[in-house]
Amino acid sequence: MIIGANLPNMPWQDRPEGCKDPVWRYSNNPIVKRDQIPSANSIFNSAVVAKDGAFVGVFRSDDKCMEQHLFLAKSENAIDWDIEPDPLPLYNEKDECVGVACGYDPRVCWIEDRYYVTWCTQFEGYHGATIGVAYSYDFKKFYRLQDAFLPYNRNGVLFPKKINGKFMMFSRPSDNGHTPFGDMYLSESPDMEHWGYHHHVMNPTGWSWTKVGAGPIPIEIDEGWLLIFHGVGTTCNGMIYSIGAAILDKEQPWKVKYRCKPYILHPTEIYECVGDVPNVCFPCATLCDAETGRIAIYYGAADTVVALAFAQVDELVQYIKDNAM
């Protein structure tokens, strides 16, 4: 059972007849094509949330100089997206513009009174990858906070509420390149700027034997937190990014109660296997309806386009338990 809001207008398709998988794809994937805004080389690894009866998002686009920026987007149905042509400007708390959001792999999380965006940025502009944090009350003007961690770190993913009075963020310490290692950690903060009390959450193993990183904002369920994550295995032909799932303890979410041994989605479709980086499914967001237990998973495919998949919470939770390592 999902603990959260009802979202009856979220996208949904029933599981195709004959399909026994815990997760199935939207039949009209990809939902965002690579060239949807004039400057784009590719649009992928993007985050969406519900707002005022419709939907908003922060999309990653790499331009034709292969520079990476974040862009605001809106949608009535969370499938057809209207993406701003210019990158998102960021402000400091004195209301001065401090430049546009450079970087990649955004996540968006509503906590208490505002939206937070976390993404992978360059520490002070050039010292190495770290996790940028900004907030907005209206999803129009975004205020940048201190970067969460020292380089090198990526995949900063917040919990949608404080736990034991603290903000919680996953991260995955990394390197300056295409990191051939990586465990998932969880850190605590009283104010979203000072991070500490670091906990280890998950190590790479099985199909994700190279690295694991948090994906969408965790989903609160009656027995804990449903975590959807990306995991990577390395082959003689490069890395394969698949999607995994686990259930974490509610009060001590660094404790993994069940980790699903098989992946729940693996690049098999042409738009996942062919693109700028082949064989990548990289989840950055979900939309959920508490009443029906429906989950829509937004993921970047082949570092080129945005795709959508669906799951039913009870079935997915049962699948994780039946197949736990």
- For position 104 contacting ligand BMA by CB under 6 A, the verdict is yes
A 10 A CB-CB count for 130 gives 23
CB 75, min distance to ligand BMA, A: 22
CB 184, min distance to ligand BMA, A: 14
Which residue in the block uniquely carries the two structure tokens 């940048």? 144
CA atoms of 307 and 180, how far apart (whole Å): 25
Which helix H or strand E contains 135, and what residues bound it?
Answer: strand 129-136
**Binding-site member from 159, 241, 254, 263 for ligand BMA (CB under 6 A):** 241
CA atoms of 305 and 287, how far apart (whole Å): 18
Binding segment (CB under 6 A) for ligand BMA, from list 19-27, 142-150, 197-205, 277-285: 277-285
Report the sign of the C-alpha dihedral through residues 316, 57, 37, 241, in that order: negative
- For position 280 contacting ligand BMA by CB under 6 A, the verdict is yes
- For position 272 contacting ligand BMA by CB under 6 A, the verdict is no
Which residue, 244 or 253, is less far from ligand BMA as judged by CB? Answer: 244
What's the 3-state SS for 177-218?
Answer: CCCCCCCEEEEEECCCCCCEEEEEEECCECCECCEEEECCCC
The residue among 198, 294, 280, 249 whose CA lies nearest residue 2 is 294
CB 241, min distance to ligand BMA, A: 6
CB 278, min distance to ligand BMA, A: 9
Which residue, 105 or 188, is less far from ligand BMA as judged by CB? Answer: 105
Which residue, 31 or 247, is less far from ligand BMA as judged by CB? Answer: 31
- For position 300 contacting ligand BMA by CB under 6 A, the verdict is yes
A 10 A CB-CB count for 125 gives 8
Q: Which residue is nearest to ligand BMA (CB)?
A: 277
Which residue, 187 or 242, is less far from ligand BMA as judged by CB? Answer: 242
Binding segment (CB under 6 A) for ligand BMA, from list 109-117, 137-145, 274-282, 313-321: 274-282
Which residue, 119 or 195, is less far from ligand BMA as judged by CB? Answer: 119
**Binding-site member from 157, 271, 303, 304 for ligand BMA (CB under 6 A):** 303
**Binding-site member from 62, 105, 188, 220 for ligand BMA (CB under 6 A):** 105
The residue among 67, 104, 103, 100 whose CA lies nearest residue 86 is 100
- For position 178 contacting ligand BMA by CB under 6 A, the verdict is yes
For 248-277, letters b (16+ CB in 10 Å) and e give bebeebbebbbbbebbbbbbebebbeebeb
CA atoms of 311 and 235, how far apart (whole Å): 28
CB 279, min distance to ligand BMA, A: 9
- Amino acid occupying residue 36: Q
**Binding-site member from 29, 36, 42, 45 for ligand BMA (CB under 6 A):** 45
CB 224, min distance to ligand BMA, A: 27
Using CB under 6 A as the binding criterion, the count of chain residues that bind ligand BMA stands at 10
CA atoms of 59 and 71, how far apart (whole Å): 5
Interface with ligand BMA by CB under 6 A: which residues? 45, 104-105, 178, 241, 277, 280, 282, 300, 303
